[in-house]
Structure 1
């Protein structure tokens, strides 16, 4: 199966940057997960190595850009097939995002392994960073509604790490599918550990099987602390001095550990 970036970029191959993207995508697809040399990419694109470094900084920067572009196209296509992707319910959108991530990896295993299987220590993965940013936005909403047991940034890192781990594991299993029981169990167990959906209200509360919102429940001290800490991070209070704000955040961090 052709990678989406190969199909999408071909119409723009006259631009130097896009020629490099297309050349790298075609070579990565043909390699079946093997390494692709800078020289081969440049020869295919008809440019010299300094041109690649000018546009992408390094060969890894180019490869990250290829996979990132392809994954973005894939997500957009999935959103067209399934408008809303969970509607305005942040928890449902996180679940759908998890499944889309796994599906992308299984449909394009050589690209996925090339990106996540050859990471460098201390060098953040561009695609993982973008996934965490999207998760952070959704989890911040959950936290402010009183439904998150840990800091949103920590929760985003944990979900992204688990999502990648499950995908790599499934790629190694012949015949695995995106709706594999293991993926669902890990996803749901992790979200149950991080999110208390009974504390969500209004548009942020998921509906039950009968289409009704669940019953209200009194949030615990930990989730309330996370909610207040998250709100203060985005809307600092002018009523507190800098020292008071630091002290309050320390107290909230301690209380947040009681979730």
Structure 2
């Protein structure tokens, strides 16, 4: 006589694959509700009903509604990064910055509610941090090439603010008033604020930058005499 493997009639624990499939289905349903009705449309009851589940299933997978929203935002960042084509060694870092800005704005215009959720408040998403690291790599390449006009963190803030402002302004306009020239003007204003068309240092690498800074030292008064001597010694070493 065969032995009943589940004599108590307990529900079997779902496999990791089934759990991930359920999690993905819930996120897809939440995104659909978000795009059709905004953030307020995402309630645990509405998501559970649309996914054909009971609310406790959502709590087991996401903890609470905020956990579900975090998962939706992270999925959005994953989609956004998948749309990017990162050139590890771009020949023109300013062109690369333009292309990256265009991709960010196009994603926001195509996914307005998801974009608002992703960028409407600080996020703890690991994928968001990866995206920020990629942006900082772009900015660092500009700095190494002598093309960065402002400090690196400020450059990142300007780029983010201009892209978000472009998306939100475009979406707030009546459709007949949406002129593509607006996006072009905002992008070029960002480029002008962040970059300089002529490299500040013609010779790339630390030696050229050190020589340029060494030549400018006599004209500054921010450092004490001792600090200036020490910095001069360091720059002389880097220039060699």
Same fold (TM over 0.5): yes
Tell me the equivalent position of 1:38. Answer: 44
Matching residue of 2:62: 52
SS in 2 for 1:197: coil
User: How many Å separate the matches in 2 of 1:182 and 1:147?
Assistant: 25
Task: Find the structure with the greater CA-based Rg.
Answer: 2
Change (3 A) 1:113 1:63: same
Other-structure match for 1:124: 123
Partners of 1:177 and 1:125 in 2: CA distance: 36
Structure 2, gaps ≥5 residues long: 1-15, 205-210, 218-226, 232-240
Q: Name the structure, 1 or 2, with higher relative contact order (CA <8 Å, separation 6+).
A: 1
Q: Give runs of aligned pairs for residues 141-160 of structure 1, distance below 5 A.
A: 141-160=141-160
- State whether residues 20 and 41 of structure 1, in contact with CA within 8 Å, keep that contact through their aligned partners in structure 2: no
In 2, the alpha carbon distance for the partners of 1:17 and 1:161 equals 35
Q: Does 1:162 align with 2:162?
A: yes
RMSD: 3.9
Question: Aligned to 1:63, which of 54, 64, 72?
Answer: 72
The answer to whether the aligner puts 1:133 opposite 2:139 as a matched pair is no
Q: Does 1:109 align with 2:119?
A: no
Instruction: Give the Å deviation of 1:68.
Output: 1.5
Alignment partners' CA distance in 1, 2:179 and 2:99:
11
Is residue 173 from structure 1 mapped to residue 179 from structure 2 by the alignment? Answer: no
Aligned residues: 189
Gaps of 5+ in 1: 1-12, 204-218, 226-243, 249-259
Length-normalised TM-score, structure 2? 0.62
